[in-house]
Structure 1
Amino acid sequence: MLFSQWTCRFSTETVFGLNPKIGLCVLTCEIYICFYLSNCSCRQDLDMRFGFDLCSDEMAFLYKRKKYVASAMKNVFHLQQDLQDHEVPVVAIITTGGGLKSMTGLYGSLMGLKKLNLLDCVTYISGLSGTTWTMANLYRDAYWSQKDLDSHIAEAQKQATKCKMGCFSMDRMKYYNKQLCQRKEEGYRTSFIDLWGLMIEYLLNDGKDPHKLSEQREALCDGQNPLPIYVSVCVRDNYSTQDFKEWVEFTPYEVGLLKYGAFIPAENFGSEFFMGRMLKKLPESRICYLQGDILHCPGTEALGGWKLKMWRSVSNAVNQTVDVSDEDPVLPTRPHELRTRMYTPPGPLSSALRGALTDRFSVAQHHNFLRGYQLHNNYLENEHFCRWKDTVLDSRPNQLMQNPNLLGMIDAGFFINTSSPPLLRPQREVDVIIYLNKACKYYSEQNIPFPRISLSDEDKKNLKECYIFQDSDMPRCPIVIFLPLVNDTFREYKAPGVKRCCSEMEGGQLDLTSRCSPYCMFSVRYTDENYRRLLNLSEYNILNNSQMIMQALQTAMQRRQNMC
C-alpha cells in the first residue's frame, strides 16, 4: 500500500441570538472537522486508478496486437506454424529527442522497418521532444502503419521546409492571445510554454490542430498500430533535475506517475482532483499544448530569453496583459555521473543562490491528481516504488509525504534524452528494444534489468550503425538493438550493397554534429535537400542492418519459446 487517505467529516451547530441594538436574529454556524486516517482499500468509486498493473484497455490492446505481431513474425521468418500468444515477443521502439532532426529521423526509421515488413512486429513506440511530433502526426490516421508512409512523409517535409516567419505576424499574435485567454478561462494556468505549444502548432500544421491525445484510441481499437507512449518528467521547485525528477507516461488510455502507480484517464489530465475524486472537469487539452509544455521544452538560456520576449510581444500586440508569473531562463542540467548530493544551509543568501540555479523557464504547471493523498509509512518497502526511487527526497521521507497542489512537468530531455522508462516496467514484458539513439547508465544505477552497454574506445570515437547488447544471465533483460544516428557507410552507399557513383557522392555527405550543422537541435527549417538526406540516412541505417535486427528478433522469439 503506497497511499493513505485523509477523509474529513463535517458537523454543524446553529445558534440563534438577538442583537438588542438592531433587533435581528443572528445565525451562527460553528463547523467541527474531524479527520481520520484510513488505508485506500476501497477504490471502486475513485476517478483514478492505483496499481502497477497495466490498465484493462492496454491489456485488451495487447491481446489484439499479438495477432498482428504473430502473423508478421510468421511471414518474416517463414515459420511453419503459427506462434502461440505466449511465444510472441514484445518489441518496442525507443526514441530520443532533438527537434526536427529527431522528427525526420523517426520517419526514416519507420519507413525502413516498413520496407522490411518489421513494423507489424512492433508493439510499442515511445517518444519525447521532436519524436512526439512524428507520433502525433501519424496517429491522426487510424491505420497509418497499414498504409504506405509516403503521404505522411511528404506532409512532414512540407512543414519542415516552409518559411516560419508567419508565426511572428500580427494576426498570428492575436490568435495566440485569443487561444491563451480561452485556455485560462477553461481553468488552466497559462504560461510562456503554452505560447510555445501554439507556435509548434503553427510550425507543424497549416492551421489549427484540434487533435487530442485520447482520440488516438481509434488508432488502437483493433490492435492495428503499435501503442504510442509519450514520456515526460515531473520536477519540483528549488530542486535541480538531478536531485528531483519523477517519470510520467502519457498514453491514449492513461496518464500516470510510474513511481506511485497512480493513473487517470488521458482525457482527465489537467482536471482538478482531491483524494482520488475529480472536483472539476476541465476540457481536454489539444495535443499542441502537450507538445509545447510537456513533451518539447527547449531549455537553453538563449531560447528561454527569446520565449520571454515573444510572450511580452504577444501581450503588447493586443494591448492586453495575460496573467502569468515571470520566470527566469532555465539553467540546463545534464545527467549526473556520480551519486553525490549538495545540501546548502538555510538562510536568505543560500536560498536565493539555490533558487537562481534551479528555477526553470520551461515548467508546465498542472493540477496534481494525487492531491489529498499522503504516502503510506511503509511505501519504501514497495518494490515497484523502489524501482524508480532516485530523488533526494526519497531518503528524506517526511518531505516526500506531502503532495504539492501542482505538478511541474518538463521535457524528459532535461534529465536524460530517452523515452525508455515506461517500457522497462516489468508488466510490459518487453523482449526487444530498438533503440534509435544513445543508451545510458541510468538503469544499472536503478537496478533495472538492462544489458550492459560496452563500447570500445574506437567505437566511442566512431560509432557504427548498429550494435546488439544482451545479457544471457538475466532472462527478463531485454535485448537492445542500438541504432545511433550516424553517417558511416551511407557516405559511399546510397542503398545496401549499391555504391554511389562520383556524381552521387555529395548526397552522402551529412554534417550531423558540428555547430554549423543544418541539423542542430534548434533549427526550425530545413531545405528540401537536407530533409531528404536525413530521411534517407535514417532509412538506410535500418535497411543496411536488417540481418542484425532480425537476428535479435529471432533470439527473442526462441527465448520466449524456451521459457514456456
Structure 2
Amino acid sequence: MEIFHKHKGEGKIRISHELSEGEKLGTSNRKVRVKKCLDSLGIPCNLDNVPNIAILGAGGGLRAMIALHGTLQELQKHGLLDTIMYLCGVSGSTWCMSYLYKNGDWTEKLQVLEESMCARLSKYTWSVPKATKLLLEAAKDENYSLTEFWAYTVVYGMLHELDKGHLSEQQSASENGNNPYPIYAAVDEQSFSKVTEYSPATWFEFTPHEASFLGYGASVPMEYFGSEYKNGELKKQKEEKNMSYLQGLWGSAIGSKTENEKVIKGCPEGIVKGFPVPTTEPEAGDMEGSLHSEPAGASPGGFSPDTKNKTITENIKGGVGSVVDFARMWQKTTHGLLTWKWGTNNNFLYKCSAFDSTELVKDKVISLVDAGIGINCAFPLVLRPERKVKLILSFDYGPFEPFKALKQTAKYCKENCISFPEIDEKLLLEPDNPSDCYIFRGEGAPTVMHFPLFNRVNCPAYVTEWRIRFTPVRFLYHVGDITKLLQSARLNVLNNKDKILQEIKYIVAHSSKEANS
C-alpha cells in the first residue's frame, strides 16, 4: 500500500480548492476497503462507483465525545463502519476522534478503546504540575491566548488526559485505508463576527495533512500551522501545536465574543440556568496532586489568592518554573481575559498577494474557535464539491433543538448555491419529542440522514429530562451515565441500520445508472 510522504522543510502554502495529496491517497486506499465491505453486504459495485459516505458528529462536550464512540461502535458491529469514507467532527466529537486516531487500526479496537475511555473519564485526575508546566511553556509564545489556559485546565480536567502528540502524526492512520478520513472543524472568529456562519470564509478545517481556510482554498501543511508567513513565504517555523491545544481550540465555544453577546442578549435572566449539579463527587483517592474545588471549571480568576499563591510556591519549589515564568503566564492570562483573546495563531495568508483583495491578509494573526458557534455539525466541510459526498449521516449530540443545524445548513447552501436536499419543516414540528431518524433526499444533492441523540424511540417520555441530565456543560461522568449515553447512541444505529443500508443501496444503484448512461 502506498504511503504519502512530504518533503520535510517545504512548508509551502497551497492555493487550490483541490484536495490535498494526502487526502487523495487516504480516500483512494479507503475506497478499496469500502468496496470490499459493500460486496459483503450484498451491494456489489465497481471501484469507480463506490459512493463517498460521511459521518458528521455534532458538538456537545463530553456528551458528544461519548455518544460518537457509541455510534461508531454500533456501526462497526453491524458491518456498516467500513462503508464510511469521511468522519467529520465539531467540538466534543473532535475529542473522540483525536483519541481514536492515535491508533492506526482503531476501527478494529473500538471495544477495547471504549473500556479505556470509560475508565479514564470516570476517574478524576488533574495534575497541577503537568498543567502548569504546559501553561508556562505556552506563555513564552507571543500568541498565547485563553485557548492555552482553557486547554490545559478545563479541557484537561474534562478529558483527564494531556496529549502532547500532534495531528500530523495521524497521517498514517488516515492514509492506510483502515479508517475513514478525518476532518476537524473550527471557525475564524473575526470572519464570523463580520459575515456569520453562512459564509464559507468563516469556516476553517484541520486534517492530518493540512490546515485550511475553506472559503479561500488556501492551505498550509499541518506541521507548519502556526508558523510565521509573509506573502506566502515561510519566515519562521514554529513547533506544531500539540493535540491538547487543538482539543481546547476545537472545544472553545465560549471563545466567541460575538456569540457570547448573542447569548447574553437572549438570556436576560442569566445564562447559567440549567447548569448541572454533578451526580457524583470525585473521590479523594482519584486526585493526582489536584485542586479538589472546581478545578475543571476554574477560570483564571477562579483560584483564590491563597490557593493561587500556594500553587505557584509549590510548583516553583518543585522545579516546574521560575517566578518570572509564573508572572509572565498570569500577566498574559489576565490580559487575555480583559481582551477576550482566544485561538490566536499566525495567519499564513498575511500579506499574501494572491488574496490582496480580502481583508484577511491584513491581519498578522487569526483567531480560531469552536465551530459549534457557527453550525454545530460541520456540513460545510463535507459539502465541498471536491469531496463528492453522496450520503451524510448526521448525528446530533448538541445542546440546541435537534433540527437547528439542518435548518442552518439549508440556509448556508441556499446562499452559496450548494446542492442540498429540501428540508421539509412539516417533519420537524416536535423538537422536544423528535423521532430517531429523518431522511432528506434531493435531485443532484447528497442524501441526508439525521439522528437526534435523545428521541421518542430510545428514551420515550424522558427526552427533555435526559437532555438536562446529560448537558454538554457537565464536567464529570460516572460509569453508569457513560453506559446510558453509549446505549442511547447505539440504539439510534441499531433501530435504523436497515434504513441506512437501504439508502446506501439506492445511492450505489443510482451511481451505476449514471455511469452507464
TM bracket (short chain):
0.7 to 0.9
Distance in 1, Cα, partners of 2:487 & 2:380 = 29
Distance in 1, Cα, partners of 2:339 & 2:76 = 40
Alignment partner of 1:289 is 2:245: yes
Q: Which amino acid aligns with 2:156?
A: Y
User: Does the residue aligned with 2:301 lie in a helix, a strand or coil?
Assistant: helix
Structure 2 segments unaligned to the other structure (5+ residues):
1-9, 265-270, 273-295, 313-322, 397-402
Alignment partner of 1:110 is 2:81: no
Q: Which amino acid aligns with 2:102?
A: R
User: Does the residue aligned with 1:324 lie in a helix, a strand or coil?
Assistant: helix
Q: Give the equivalent residue in structure 1 for 2:474.
A: 523
Q: How far is the alpha carbon of 1:104 from its aligned partner?
A: 1.1
Q: Give the equivalent residue in structure 2 for 1:26.
A: none
Q: Give the equivalent residue in structure 1 for 2:131.
A: 176
Alignment partner of 1:309 is 2:273: no
Is residue 518–residue 530 contact of structure 1 (8 Å, CA) maintained in 2? Answer: no
Q: Give the equivalent residue in structure 2 for 1:72.
A: 37
Is residue 375–residue 402 contact of structure 1 (8 Å, CA) maintained in 2? Answer: no
Distance in 2, Cα, partners of 1:416 & 1:553 = 26
What's the CA shift string for 1:345-374, capped at 9, x where partnerless?
xxxxxxxxxxxxxx9736210000001214
What's the CA shift string for 1:64-110, capped at 9, x where partnerless?
1110010111111x24xx52222100000011101011111101111
- Which of 312, 320, 324 lines up with 2:332 in the alignment? 324
Structure 1 segments unaligned to the other structure (5+ residues):
1-44, 330-358, 378-396, 493-507
Distance in 2, Cα, partners of 1:62 & 1:482 = 24
Q: How far is the alpha carbon of 1:198 from its aligned partner?
A: 1.3
Q: Which amino acid aligns with 1:232?
A: A
Is residue 92–residue 125 contact of structure 1 (8 Å, CA) maintained in 2? Answer: yes
Distance in 2, Cα, partners of 1:178 & 1:159 = 22
Q: Give the equivalent residue in structure 2 for 1:372.
A: 351
Is residue 349–residue 361 contact of structure 2 (8 Å, CA) maintained in 1? Answer: no
Q: Give the equivalent residue in structure 1 for 2:52.
A: 90
Distance in 2, Cα, partners of 1:238 & 1:465 = 31
- How has the CA–CA distance of structure 1 residues 258 and 529 changed in structure 2, closer, same or farther, with 3 Å as cutoff? same
What's the CA shift string for 1:283-304, capped at 9, x where partnerless?
1111000111344344568799
| 1:50-65 to 2 correspondences below 5 Å | 50-65=15-30
Is residue 156–residue 204 contact of structure 1 (8 Å, CA) maintained in 2? Answer: no
- How has the CA–CA distance of structure 1 residues 364 and 376 changed in structure 2, closer, same or farther, with 3 Å as cutoff? closer
Q: Which amino acid aligns with 2:151?
A: G
Q: Which amino acid aligns with 1:559?
A: H
User: Does the residue aligned with 1:490 lie in a helix, a strand or coil?
Assistant: coil
- How has the CA–CA distance of structure 1 residues 214 and 543 changed in structure 2, closer, same or farther, with 3 Å as cutoff? same
- How has the CA–CA distance of structure 1 residues 133 and 200 changed in structure 2, closer, same or farther, with 3 Å as cutoff? farther
Distance in 1, Cα, partners of 2:304 & 2:191 = 24
User: Does the residue aligned with 2:25 lie in a helix, a strand or coil?
Assistant: helix
Between structure 1 and structure 2, the one with the greater Rg is 1
Q: How far is the alpha carbon of 1:241 from its aligned partner?
A: 7.1
User: Does the residue aligned with 1:92 lie in a helix, a strand or coil?
Assistant: strand
* Greater helix content: 2
| 1:552-563 to 2 correspondences below 5 Å | 552-563=503-514
- How has the CA–CA distance of structure 1 residues 46 and 158 changed in structure 2, closer, same or farther, with 3 Å as cutoff? closer
* Greater strand content: 1
Is residue 518–residue 526 contact of structure 1 (8 Å, CA) maintained in 2? Answer: no
Is residue 293–residue 362 contact of structure 1 (8 Å, CA) maintained in 2? Answer: no
Q: Which amino acid aligns with 2:377?
A: T
Distance in 2, Cα, partners of 1:484 & 1:468 = 12
- How has the CA–CA distance of structure 1 residues 510 and 461 changed in structure 2, closer, same or farther, with 3 Å as cutoff? closer
Bigger relative contact order (CA 8 A; separation at least 6)? 2
- How has the CA–CA distance of structure 1 residues 527 and 448 changed in structure 2, closer, same or farther, with 3 Å as cutoff? same
User: Does the residue aligned with 1:229 lie in a helix, a strand or coil?
Assistant: strand
Q: Give the equivalent residue in structure 1 for 2:279.
A: none
User: Does the residue aligned with 2:300 lie in a helix, a strand or coil?
Assistant: helix
Alignment partner of 1:159 is 2:114: no
What's the CA shift string for 1:97-146, capped at 9, x where partnerless?
01011111101111111111010000101111111110011011110113
Is residue 432–residue 464 contact of structure 2 (8 Å, CA) maintained in 1? Answer: no
Alignment partner of 1:467 is 2:448: no
Is residue 201–residue 208 contact of structure 1 (8 Å, CA) maintained in 2? Answer: no
- Which of 426, 436, 439 lines up with 2:385 in the alignment? 426
Distance in 1, Cα, partners of 2:362 & 2:458 = 51
- How has the CA–CA distance of structure 1 residues 308 and 442 changed in structure 2, closer, same or farther, with 3 Å as cutoff? farther
- Which of 162, 173, 185 lines up with 1:231 in the alignment? 185
Distance in 2, Cα, partners of 1:150 & 1:47 = 40
User: Does the residue aligned with 1:538 lie in a helix, a strand or coil?
Assistant: helix
Q: Give the equivalent residue in structure 1 for 2:163.
A: 209
| 1:2-401 to 2 correspondences below 5 Å | 47-76=12-41, 78-79=42-43, 82-147=44-109, 149-163=110-124, 166-167=125-126, 172-185=127-140, 187=141, 189-199=143-153, 202-203=156-157, 208-236=162-190, 239=193, 242=196, 246-298=202-254, 306-310=298-302, 316=309, 317-318=311-312, 320-321=326-327, 322=329, 323-324=331-332, 326=334, 361=340, 363-374=342-353, 400=359
Q: TM-score, normalised on structure 2?
A: 0.78
Is residue 145–residue 336 contact of structure 2 (8 Å, CA) maintained in 1? Answer: no
The percent of aligned pairs where both chains have the same amino acid is 28
Distance in 1, Cα, partners of 2:458 & 2:252 = 30
Q: Which amino acid aligns with 1:248?
A: F
User: Does the residue aligned with 2:362 lie in a helix, a strand or coil?
Assistant: coil
Is residue 130–residue 296 contact of structure 1 (8 Å, CA) maintained in 2? Answer: no
Aligned pairs, number: 441
- How has the CA–CA distance of structure 1 residues 376 and 137 changed in structure 2, closer, same or farther, with 3 Å as cutoff? closer
What's the CA shift string for 1:137-169, capped at 9, x where partnerless?
10111101133x111112222233223xx53xx
Distance in 1, Cα, partners of 2:348 & 2:82 = 35
Distance in 1, Cα, partners of 2:495 & 2:71 = 11
Distance in 2, Cα, partners of 1:510 & 1:480 = 23
Distance in 1, Cα, partners of 2:377 & 2:192 = 24
Q: Which amino acid aligns with 1:120?
A: D
Is residue 121–residue 159 contact of structure 2 (8 Å, CA) maintained in 1? Answer: no
Distance in 2, Cα, partners of 1:469 & 1:526 = 34
Q: TM-score, normalised on structure 1?
A: 0.72
Distance in 1, Cα, partners of 2:334 & 2:195 = 20
What's the CA shift string for 1:306-357, capped at 9, x where partnerless?
523148969643263214264687xxxxxxxxxxxxxxxxxxxxxxxxxxxx
